[in-house]
Amino acid sequence: MHQPGDLIKERYQILHLLGEGGIATTYAAEDLNFSQQVAIKILSLRRLKDWKALELFEREGKVLAQLEHSGIPKYLDYFQLDIEGDRRFYIVQEIAPGQSLQDWVKSGWRPTELEVREIAKQLLDILVYLHQLTPPVVHRDIKPQNIIRQSDGKVFLVDFGAVQDTYRHTITNGSTIVGTYGYMAPEQFRGQAKPPTDLYGLGATLLFLLTHKDPADFPEKRMKIDFRPYINLTPEFADWLENLLEPVIEDRFISAAEALAELQGKRERIAPRSPVNLQPAGSRVVLQKDQGRIEISIPRKKVIFEPISACIFYFMVFRVSWPFIVSSFRELEGGAIMVIILKVIVLLTIIVVLVRFLWKLFVSTHLAFTNNKFMVTWNCLGIKHQVDGNIEDICRVEVYRTNMNVNAPPTFTCALQVGGVKFYNFGSNLSKMEQDWLVTEIAEFIGKPKLIDN
């Protein structure tokens, strides 16, 4: 309908096409009054096949005019113009910088589970805002094309009214179906939409980001999308995603707020999920807990004359390394480079094995968890190592077996699994009962799943 350079209302100069659907077309333009780029969505009366499309377009303009959220491009103007043989309707918004999630994936972007979680949190924050309005605003067309992502990770939700590429009308009972196949909740096929309807579209969008496949291409099991065999997710996130994709609306989260709370681990913290968890008798672990904090101190193994032990440790390292160093200097003068390299490799291997053994023998550990953050500190003979992070990034707390030899006595350690790929081990010097007790205490406090290896 327009070419670059066209001037609309003596104010908006067309720059280029942003998107074109069956009914409406969106352009990038410059607002000459304020020297800023805007997005203009245009509906042509001449191209209409159904008056319902105009009703949806006008509704979109009215809805946008009342919205005020940083994740929704700001509404600027609505007007109509009569030209020869046609009447055109215009919605003007701030332009959302970035690319759609669909274009990001097409360009080769492969988001991690943590990146997908962050997108989910931002979109849920937008949906919480929309659904708490009176009356609630249900987007009805959550899909990758309607979510714009900046390079810094911030996302925007666009295309309210669902009139572009997604409008369908059924003759039966005159009901209207709005949505995109594969991202539509089952109730949308009956012309119904409630706030949880948007959660289904969100779940389908996240599934697309994780698998790069259209949700409609997945097989179904008992009328549900069967995605678990085709993707490797942490159990906690897989369960949460499966809830979003429940085909029966009553089985989904009742609201975006509830879905966001569970994703952040807040809803599970409301009530413990296990009976009283008592500390094993004789345990030297010190655990202090209140409503907003839990701290755990795991002492090193009982070793007599610790200063003497430290001296022995450093002497052993010196005793092992010094002959190698002396002989390497002698051989260096003779030009035996390969022999020197081999000796260095053997020396480093011996030192690593020795350090690992002594670390396990002398290490003490301190863990601290608040409502939002965690910190783990290891201390071995004056050498400290510390990590910290967000509790929401912890996938689960577990006890797992560290030796796979079935003929050897089993050994276990505790671990925090963070981000699906990082494991922070602690408590290897504790008994199995102490490890199970600690994992249960931590999991209940931070509201994360626990896994105990038997």
- What's the CA angle centered on 131, arms 140 and 42, to 5 degrees? 45
Backbone angles phi, psi at 195, to 5 degrees: -50, -45
- Residues serving a catalytic function are 141
Domains 7-94 and 99-264 share a fold: no
What percentage of the chain has pLDDT greater than the value 90? Answer: 41
Instruction: Count Cα neighbours of 429 within 13 Å in the Cβ-side half-sphere.
Output: 21
Task: Give the C-alpha separation, 354 to 98, whole Å.
Answer: 52
Q: What residue spans define the domains of the chain?
A: 7-94, 99-264, 286-300+363-452, 307-358
Widest Cα–Cα separation across the chain: 98
| CA-only gyration radius of the chain, Å | 30
- Which tens digits make up the pLDDT trace of 3-62? 999 999 999 999 999 877 667 889 999 999 999 999 999 988 887 777 777 877 887 888
Give tens-digit pLDDT for 150-206.
999 999 999 875 532 333 333 223 345 555 778 988 888 887 888 999 999 999 999
Give 443 or 318, the one with higher predicted confidence.
443
Fold type of domain 7-94: Phosphorylase Kinase; domain 1 (3.30.200)
Predicted confidence (pLDDT) per residue in 206-261, tens digit? 999 999 999 999 998 878 899 998 898 998 899 999 999 999 999 999 999 999 99
- E strand intervals along 371-429: 373-380, 383-390, 394-401, 412-418, 422-426
Give CATH for domain 286-300+363-452: 2.30.29
CB-side neighbour CA atoms (13 Å) of 251: 13
Nearest alpha-carbon partner for 371 in 263, 451, 291: 291
Sheet architecture: strand order including 422-426: 422-426, 412-418, 394-401, 450-452
By residue count, the chain amounts to 454
Residue 49: both structure tokens together: 């096949």
* The amino acid at 60: E
Ranges of H-type helices in 254-379? 256-263, 306-334, 337-362
Q: Scanning the structure block, which residue is given the tokens 């109509």?
A: 80
Is the bond leading into 219 cis (omega within 30 degrees of zero)? no
For residue 134, give every residue at least 6 positions away whose Cβ sits within 8 Å of its Cβ, in sequence order, or none.
Answer: none
The CATH number, out of the four listed (1.10.730.10, 1.10.540.10, 1.10.510.10, 3.40.50.1220), of the domain defined by the range 99-264: 1.10.510.10
Check residue 340 and give its pLDDT.
63
Which of these, 383, 397, 400, 410, lies nearest to 450 by C-alpha position?
397
Query: What pLDDT score was predicted for residue 174?
Result: 36
Residue with tokens 């759609």: 100
Residue 320 near residue 354, CB atoms below 8 Å: yes
- The helix or strand, by DSSP H or E, that contains position 18, with its residue range, turns out to be strand 12-20
